[in-house]
Amino acid sequence: MSPTLDQMREAQRALESPLFSGLPGDIEVSFEFFPPKTEKMGETLWQSVQTLEPLDPRFVSVTYGAGGSTRERTHEAVRRIVRDTAIPAAAHLTCVQATKEEVDAVAREYWEEGVRHIVALRGDAPDADTGYAPHPGGYENAADLIAGLKKIADFEISVAAYPEVHPDSPDRQADLDNLKRKFDAGATRAITQFFFEPECFFDFRDKAAAAGIEGEIVPGIMPVMSFAAVQRMSGLCGTAIPDWMEGLFDGLDERPEARQLVSATIAAEMCRRLYAGGVRQFHFYTLNRAELSYAICHMLGLRPKA
């Protein structure tokens, strides 16, 4: 996709003035949380939701543990967001270790409780070594799940996308074909796996457009809380960690506050470059901590709504 005149002006401005000066805050954001395991973690989650609510997110979503292991906790967190906030809530749902009837029952319950948005995923095998196999009588993959959900109710549906290609995919084209099948089945947006170089997203966006994908593709932003944890996760999901990154976090293991500042700087700069390339929607993997995501949104010009 060739840049528009606006994008070229914007890129020029990004080079000439201080990086974050004068941004009008014309972005839309969403935030992802995971279901808390303990009461204390529940409090942290809740404080994070309340901190981020004034930024007027399009939605906040709650993940679903492998094999439905967090089914009740995911449900409880989503229910509380619906009940106690004005933010549209999205519930993640996977196909793993459940029959279609079981998955459908969860979705129906969500609909009855006022949840109108599902992040529809295949999920992974609980044992990473065995690889994914559909449950007998279950949904085969995310596209199949979307078709099932759409039969239940007219949910808004978000799906996952992989700028660096999903590890199970034979190649980029097969992965894009799969993404297209998910849009064709009724998804309204794709949220990407996290990545650390803006070019990675731009390249993916171009390739998706060339593959005939017209739906919204939102970058998933992962501010680094722990570099070791990010290395582990990146290894599992195939995200490349740029060489420069390790050096930036080197020596900060025992300095959480300095690490947070470094982390916010790196993530905000990447978002700024995405913004310069025309991106206006961002999805943050908050890991249930609000401050990093809040700081990045602030640097991108977003301010609390009255």
Ligand X SMILES: Cc1cc2nc3c(=O)[nH]c(=O)nc-3n(C[C@H](O)[C@H](O)[C@H](O)COP(=O)(O)OP(=O)(O)OC[C@H]3O[C@@H](n4cnc5c(N)ncnc54)[C@H](O)[C@@H]3O)c2cc1C
Of 122, 119, 191, 194, the C-alpha closest to 155 is 119
Residue 122 or 272: the one with the smaller Cβ distance to ligand X is 122
Report long-range pairs for 263-266 (Cβ below 8 Å, ≥24 apart).
263/223, 263/224, 263/225, 263/292, 264/223, 264/292, 264/295, 264/296, 264/299, 266/196, 266/223, 266/224
Closest distance of CB 8 from ligand X, Å: 30
Tokens 């201080």 appear where?
Answer: 18
Q: Which of residues 58-77 bind ligand X (CB under 6 A)?
A: 63-64, 66
Contact predicate 91/79, CB 8 Å: no
32 is an active site residue:
yes
Pick one of 48, 193, 234, 286: the residue that binds ligand X (CB under 6 A). 193
Closest distance of CB 164 from ligand X, Å: 11
Query: Buried b vs exposed e over 166-199: b needs ≥16 C-beta within 10 Å?
Result: beebeebeebbebbbbbbebbbebbbbbbbbbbe
The Cα-based distances of 67 to 21, 153, 235 in angstroms read 45, 23, 21
Choose the catalytic residue: 16, 32, 246, 291.
32
Closest distance of CB 301 from ligand X, Å: 24
Q: Which of residues 207-266 bind ligand X (CB under 6 A)?
A: 220
Closest distance of CB 266 from ligand X, Å: 20
State the helix-helix crossing angle for 290-299 and 256-276, rounded to 10 degrees.
40
Question: Is residue 94 at the binding interface for ligand X, with CB under 6 A as the rule?
Answer: yes
Residue 222 or 295: the one with the smaller Cβ distance to ligand X is 222
Whole-angstrom distance, CA of residue 219 vs CA of residue 216: 10
Pick one of 28, 56, 113, 124: the residue that binds ligand X (CB under 6 A). 124
Question: Is residue 123 at the binding interface for ligand X, with CB under 6 A as the rule?
Answer: yes
Whole-angstrom distance, CA of residue 207 vs CA of residue 176: 8
Question: Is residue 121 at the binding interface for ligand X, with CB under 6 A as the rule?
Answer: yes
Residue 72 or 253: the one with the smaller Cβ distance to ligand X is 72
Pick one of 75, 166, 180, 205: the residue that binds ligand X (CB under 6 A). 166
Closest distance of CB 198 from ligand X, Å: 17
Whole-angstrom distance, CA of residue 242 vs CA of residue 100: 40
Q: Which stretch binds ligand X (CB under 6 A): 4-12, 13-21, 121-129, 245-253?
A: 121-129
Widest distance between CA atoms in the chain: 58
Which positions are catalytic? Answer: 32
Binding site for ligand X (CB under 6 A): 63-64, 66, 92, 94, 119, 121-124, 141-142, 160, 166, 168-169, 174-175, 178, 182, 191, 193, 220
